[in-house]
C-alpha cells in the first residue's frame, strides 16, 4: 500500500507539472484528492491492515495528500503569475508613442472682441460693470429720459415680460444703475458689455439678440472734445492707427447733443467703395453728452457734473474687423466658422 501511495504521488506530480492552466490543475486535484479518488480508496481499505501497518499507511497517505496539494498550489500560483505577466505585457502602455491630439476649443469671436474692447477702455482708465438682462421699464426707458408714450421708444421694439419687466433693449440702463450707486459723486468712468434683445426679424445684419458695449464718463468739466478724443483713441487701437472718425449730429433721448460716429472705411481707406456705399465712411456707434435730466434722475447735479456716453454693437465691430458678412454666423456655432478665430 505504501508503494501504491508513492506511485500515486508520482503520477499526480507528473500531471500537475504537465497542466497548462488552472482548469487542468483543478481536474488533477479532483482526480487524486477528491472523495472518489485513489487515496480515499486506499484509506478505505485500511480496515484490512494489521494494527501495526495501519498508522504507517495512514501517515503516508496524509503525507502524499499534502505533497500533492502543495504541488498543485505552487503550480497554481506560478500559472497565475504568468497569466498576470502576459496580461500586463499585452495591456502595457508604450509611453514613447505620440499621443492623440486633443481637439482644442477657441474663445468665441464675440467674447474675444468684447475682451479686446474692454482692454482698450481699461487702458484709457475705464472700469468694467455689468447689469441685468431682464430689466425694468423704469431703468431701460424712463431713467434714460424716455417716458411712457415717448415716440423714441419705437426705435427699439421690445420683448415685454410683464407691463414693467422686459428683456433690455440696450445696455444704457447700466448707466443709470451705476450712477445711482455712486450717490451723486463722480467720477463715473465705466464700460458695460452685455446681451440686449429687440423684436427684429433675423437677417444678415439683424438679430433679435445681440451684444452691446456701453460707455459712460461723468465728472466735472467733461466736454464733447473728451468724447471725441476717447473714441478716436479707441477706434485707432481697435481698427488701426490709419483710421479716423467723424461725428454727425443725431438724436438719442438720453444725450444732448447726440452724435453718430463714423470710421473711415477699411476697404477703400475713405476713397469710396461698395462696402461703405461710396461714402468712404462706416457708421459704428451712437454717442453724446449725457442729458442733464438723465444726470439729475440718477442723483448727479448737472450744474456740477457733465459727461459723455456711447453705445456700440459688438457684432458690428467684429464683422467690420474680420470681414464677416452675416451676423447669424455668431450664433449658429458652426465649428468651421469658430475655428477661424483660434488665434484671436
CB environment 245-278: b (16+ within 10 A), e (fewer): bebeeeebbbbeebbbbbbbbbeeebeeeeebee
What does 50-62 look like in DSSP terms, one character per residue? -TTHHHHHHHHHH
Which H/E stretch holds residue 246? strand 245-252
- Selected range binding ligand DAH among 108-116, 132-140, 267-275, 286-294, rule: CB under 6 A: 286-294
- E-strand spans in 102-233? 127-128, 134-136, 159-160, 165-167, 188-197, 209-220
- Selected range binding ligand DAH among 1-9, 75-83, 230-238, 284-292, rule: CB under 6 A: 284-292
Among 135, 137, 214, 262, binds ligand DAH (CB under 6 A): 214
| Distance set, CA 135 to CA 43, 127, 155, 161, 176 (Å) | 96, 22, 17, 10, 12
Minimum distance of ligand DAH from residue 283's CB (angstroms): 11
Look-up: residue for cell 501504491?
A: 4
Minimum distance of ligand DAH from residue 311's CB (angstroms): 2
- Selected range binding ligand DAH among 37-45, 236-244, 268-276, 281-289, rule: CB under 6 A: 281-289
Among 131, 253, 286, 307, binds ligand DAH (CB under 6 A): 286
Of 8 and 231, nearer to ligand DAH (C-beta) is 231
Distance CA(112)–CA(124), nearest Å, equals 19
The residues in 163-182 that bind ligand DAH, with binding defined as CB under 6 A, are 170, 172
Minimum distance of ligand DAH from residue 308's CB (angstroms): 7
Among 141, 252, 300, 341, binds ligand DAH (CB under 6 A): 252
Which residues of this chain interact with ligand DAH, rule CB under 6 A? Answer: 170, 172, 214, 252, 255, 286-288, 309-311
Amino acid at each position: 500500500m505504501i508503494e501504491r501511495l508513492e506511485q500515486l504521488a508520482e503520477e499526480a506530480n507528473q500531471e500537475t507539472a504537465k497542466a497548462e492552466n488552472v482548469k487542468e490543475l483543478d481536474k488533477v486535484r479532483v482526480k487524486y484528492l477528491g472523495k472518489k479518488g485513489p487515496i480515499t480508496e486506499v484509506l478505505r481499505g485500511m480496515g484490512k491492515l494489521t494494527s501495526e501497518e495501519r498508522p504507517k499507511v495512514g501517515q503516508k497517505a496524509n503525507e502524499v495528500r499534502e505533497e500533492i496539494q502543495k504541488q498543485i498550489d505552487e503550480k497554481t500560483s506560478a500559472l497565475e503569475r504568468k497569466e498576470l505577466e502576459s496580461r500586463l505585457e499585452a495591456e502595457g502602455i508604450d509611453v514613447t508613442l505620440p499621443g492623440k491630439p486633443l481637439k482644442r476649443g477657441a474663445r468665441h469671436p464675440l467674447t474675444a472682441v468684447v475682451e479686446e474692447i474692454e482692454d482698450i477702455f481699461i487702458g484709457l482708465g475705464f472700469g468694467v460693470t455689468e447689469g441685468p438682462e431682464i430689466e425694468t421699464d423704469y431703468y431701460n426707458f424712463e431713467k434714460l429720459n424716455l417716458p411712457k408714450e415717448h415716440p423714441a421708444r419705437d426705435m427699439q421694439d421690445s420683448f415685454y415680460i410683464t407691463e414693467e419687466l422686459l428683456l433690455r433693449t440696450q445696455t444704457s440702463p447700466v448707466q443709470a444703475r451705476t450712477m445711482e450707486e455712486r450717490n451723486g459723486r463722480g467720477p463715473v468712468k465705466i464700460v458695460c458689455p452685455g446681451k440686449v434683445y429687440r423684436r427684429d426679424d433675423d437677417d444678415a445684419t439683424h438679430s433679435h439678440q445681440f451684444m452691446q458695449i456701453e460707455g459712460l464718463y461723468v465728472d466735472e468739466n467733461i466736454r464733447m472734445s473728451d468724447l471725441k478724443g476717447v473714441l478716436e483713441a479707441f477706434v485707432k487701437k481697435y481698427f488701426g492707427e490709419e483710421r479716423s472718425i467723424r461725428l454727425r449730429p443725431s438724436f438719442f433721448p438720453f444725450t444732448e447733443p447726440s452724435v453718430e460716429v463714423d470710421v473711415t472705411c477699411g476697404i477703400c481707406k475713405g476713397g469710396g467703395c461698395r462696402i461703405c456705399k461710396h461714402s468712404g465712411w462706416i457708421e459704428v456707434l451712437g454717442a453724446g453728452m449725457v442729458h442733464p435730466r438723465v444726470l439729475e434722475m440718477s442723483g448727479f447735479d448737472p450744474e456740477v457734473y457733465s459727461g459723455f456716453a456711447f453705445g456700440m454693437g459688438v457684432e458690428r465691430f467684429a464683422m467690420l474687423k474680420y470681414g464677416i458678412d452675416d451676423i447669424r454666423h455668431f450664433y449658429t456655432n458652426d465649428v468651421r466658422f469658430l475655428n477661424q478665430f483660434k488665434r484671436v
